[in-house]
Amino acid sequence: MLRIVVTSGPEKGRSLDSNELKEIEIGRQARHLRLTDGRVSRVHCCLEKNDAGTWFLADRHSKHGTSHNGRLLTGRVRVEDGDRINIGHTVIRCFISKPVVVADDPRMINPAKPEKPAKPATASSAKQRVQPAQPAQSTEAKSAPREQPQRVRQSQMQASEVRSLQERTTVEPVSTTSKKTGEAAADCWMDAIMSEMEAFEEEEREIEEESNQQ
């Protein structure tokens, strides 16, 4: 909407709103804004609105001319908010207000965007959430047990044979000479077995120390 206000001249303080008007005549015998200024022609100038709602000012072949913002008007010029029109001794200011859109429902002006529905959970994603984490296996559990040396297995077999021999010498009656000879042989054999067992225990300790270092 356009409002014109007389800020200087005989009709200072007068105003006019365009409302539904598409044309406003200004002059001493104009249809809309009449002035008593002696230097104003009968229809001095005119304000016109086009279909887009833009206002323009044009002179109507006045005797003393029309000035727009301090410049003498020679054709039609666009009118902006706050522009000044000088005719004779009269100064007119133009004020343009933008129309306000009124709606019963505020959402009609800025409708809210619909929220996107959440994607349904699939069986695979649910399985991934439920499946517990696998515990990390220690290095000692992953490492394969080391095989016993062949010498250790042989020592174990010999120890078994010694126990079997001792049982036979206890149960079966033998002569004194044979018994002494057998005991001497058994003592030698036992010494050899004990040496093998000590070597076995030493090797077992070395294997255990290597495992602890790893």
Per residue in 71-121, pLDDT tens? 999 889 999 999 999 999 999 999 998 765 555 555 555 655 656 666 665
Once rounded to an integer, what is the mean pLDDT over residues 52-76? 94
How far is Cα 87 from Cα 57, in angstroms, rounded to an integer? Answer: 12
What DSSP state is assigned to residue 18?
A: -
Tens digits of residue pLDDT in 6-48: 999 999 999 999 988 999 999 999 999 999 999 999 999 999 9
How far is Cα 27 from Cα 85, in angstroms, rounded to an integer? Answer: 13
Between strands 23-27 and 33-34, the pairing is parallel
The label of the residue with tokens 């078994």 reads 160
Once rounded to an integer, what is the mean pLDDT over residues 170-198? 63
Q: Is the model's pLDDT at 122 over the cut of 70?
A: no
HSE, side-chain direction, 13 A CA sphere, residue 133: 3
How far is Cα 88 from Cα 71, in angstroms, rounded to an integer? Answer: 14
Once rounded to an integer, what is the mean pLDDT over residues 173-197? 64
This prediction has a pTM of 0.47
User: What integer pLDDT is reported at residue 194 of this predicted model?
Assistant: 75
Of the ranges 9-18, 150-159, 188-197, the best mean pLDDT one:
9-18
Q: Is the model's pLDDT at 164 over the cut of 80?
A: no
Residue type, 157: M
Phi, psi (deg, nearest 5) at residue 142: -75, -35
Q: Is the model's pLDDT at 166 over the cut of 90?
A: no
The pLDDT confidence band at residue 61, using thresholds 50, 70 and 90, is very high
How far is Cα 102 from Cα 100, in angstroms, rounded to an integer? Answer: 6
Once rounded to an integer, what is the mean pLDDT over residues 47-56? 94
* Stretch among 10-24, 151-165, 199-213 having the lowest mean pLDDT: 151-165
Of the ranges 124-138, 139-153, 195-209, the best mean pLDDT one:
195-209
